[in-house]
Structures are given as structure tokens and as C-alpha cells.
Amino acid sequence: MKHLVTVLFITLLAIISCNSNNSEKKPEYVLVIHGGAGTILRENLSPEKEEAYINKLNEALLAGENILKMGGSSLDAITEAILIMENSPLFNAGKGAVFSEEGIVEMDASIMDGRSTEAGSVAGVHTIKNPILAARAVMENSKHVLLTGDGADSFAGKQGLEIVDSSYFFTVDRWKSYKKAKAENEIKKYGTVGAVALDSYGNLAAGTSTGGMTYKMKGRVGDSPIIGAGTYADNSTCAVSATGHGEFFIRNVVAYDISALMKYKELSLKEAADYVILNKLKNIGGSGGIIAVDHEGNYTMTFNTPGMYRGVVTSSGLIDVKIFGETEQ
């Protein structure tokens, strides 16, 4: 009897220790961001430009982390991180948005709350300084999920969001890219920005913002504002933000597909992301990548292109920013 009690006591200690270890391993919060994926090669990026990207990605990460560290929500953290990137001409979103075939910006953005699976998005907007704020306003202050064009611009203005003249979005580099694409009569794929987060309350959130493709057809909408394609969040699985050739991400419902593989096939986050991005998408010619975090704090930054502007910060003290493929880091 004494031996049995000893065995039970040791077993109980082992269980307590195991649970303690697991809780220690799970981070209190995680924030992952991206600034677009594509043919990003070291030889095509000057040291000064590389440093600028790294500094801005770090700024976005730290801005979002400050919110999470103070007990803020994943929604607020991803919004703040995306705002930093939208306000920078380095990225194809907000200030740095590319030009359509008509020589104007047509921006898209979306956001999703993993706790309630509520979502909001805008597409083809022209005058909203920060489309991610408009997407959030649609989610929180309207009965709809997606607003487009003039209707979305008007709604944003009524919500008190900053409306700017189209000249605000003009940058020399983007205009040169537009003129080149027009001369060659060729649409050029460009980047996106996005963020996903897990907060200390266990809630997930995801957001994505983009200017789309250079010299894209008037009215073209990519995956970024499409819930399930470019953005998805569900507390029971994961939060995902995508970047890449939007038509392929729409056709394959990439963000939701990763969540569904976790929910219905019980794959891990990494297994699901690797299958969708490195296998399913790549095999049909779809280029791009995703960032994602699951409800346990596991995260991935998976892409099938030469590079992806990306970064992660966690409550354990990890902060890591990268641009190129692993072999080029």
C-alpha cells in the first residue's frame, strides 16, 4: 500500500511538472508581420535600402508589441503594426501603394477577429490614408463585411477617418515602376503588408493591406480584402495573412485552407502552411507566402519565393527580422 501511494505521488508530480512545462513554453503573446513576398534578392537591394526595410519592420514589431506587453488586444496590436507599414513609402500599402493602369491608387485591406470571427474589408479605395482603419471600421461599425470603391471611401469619411488628396500617395519610385509597366504593357506583381497576433487573453487576429499590382486593370481586386483568401482568423485554429499572386490565393482560399486543415485534418500549423504554400500552391504556379500564428503561440513565416519581408516578436524576448530566403540570410 505504501509503495502504491509513493507511485501515485510520483505520477502526480510528473503530471504537474509536465503541465507546468507546457504552460511555460506557451508564450503570453506573439506578433508576426510581413511586408510582401517576391523576387527579393540581396544583389538587387542596396545596403541602405536593406537597412531601411529592417528598421521599419522592427519599428512595426515594437509598436505592436508595446500594445501586447501592456495587456492590449491582438486586434489593436496588428492594427498598429500595419499602420506603421501603411505610412511608409517602402511598402505597397497606403503611402507606398502602386498605381493601376489609369495611374491612380486602388487599395485593399481586411481585418478579422479570431474571437468572434467577425471581419471587415475595403477594396478599390482611393482617398483613405489608412485602409486598415477603414476595414476595421467596416467590421465594428457596419452591418457588412466588404465595402468597395466610392462607397468605402465615403463610409470611411463619415467614420472620421483621415481622407487625403490623391497626391499624398505619389512617390517617385512607384511612378517610375508604373511608367515602365505601361511601356511594356505588363502587369507587375508587387507586395502587401500584414500582421497576425496572439494576445495574453488567447485571442487571435489577422490583418492585411495592399496597393495591389502595378498597372493592374481598373477595378481589379486581389486576395487581400477577401476573407478566407488573404486574411483569416479563428481562435480554435490560427490567424493568417497572405502575400503573393492574389488570383491564386483567391482560387485556393489559402488563408482559410490552412485553418481548415488544422481543424478537420488535425495538422499542425507548420504542416498545414507547408502543404498549402510549398505544395498545393506552388504546383499550380502560385507564388507568395503567408505568416500565421496558432492558438498555442506557434508561428510560421512560409513562402515559396526568393524572399519575404518578415518579422516576429514574442513575450519570451525573441525578436527577429528577415528579408531573404534562409540560404541568403
For the chain, give the mean pLDDT: 92
- Tell me the mean pLDDT in the region 80-107: 97
More confident residue, 283 or 17: 283
- Tell me the mean pLDDT in the region 94-114: 97
46: which 3 cell numbers?
A: 542596396
pLDDT at 245 over 60: yes
pLDDT at residue 13, as a whole number = 38
pLDDT at residue 74, as a whole number = 98
pLDDT at residue 12, as a whole number = 38
**Domain spans of the chain, in order of start:** 28-328
Q: Which CATH architecture has domain 28-328?
A: 4-Layer Sandwich (3.60)
Q: What is the pLDDT of residues 276-324, one digit of tens each?
A: 999 999 999 999 999 999 999 999 999 999 999 999 999 999 999 999 9
Q: Comparing 13-27, 149-163, 217-231, which segment has the lowest mean pLDDT?
A: 13-27
pLDDT at residue 7, as a whole number = 38
**pLDDT band, residue 41 (cuts 50/70/90):** confident
List active site positions: 192
pLDDT at 239 over 70: yes
pLDDT at residue 39, as a whole number = 74
Has this prediction a pTM greater than 0.85? yes
266: which 3 cell numbers?
A: 488535425
- Tell me the mean pLDDT in the region 132-154: 98
**pLDDT band, residue 329 (cuts 50/70/90):** very low
pLDDT at 194 over 50: yes
pLDDT at 4 over 60: no
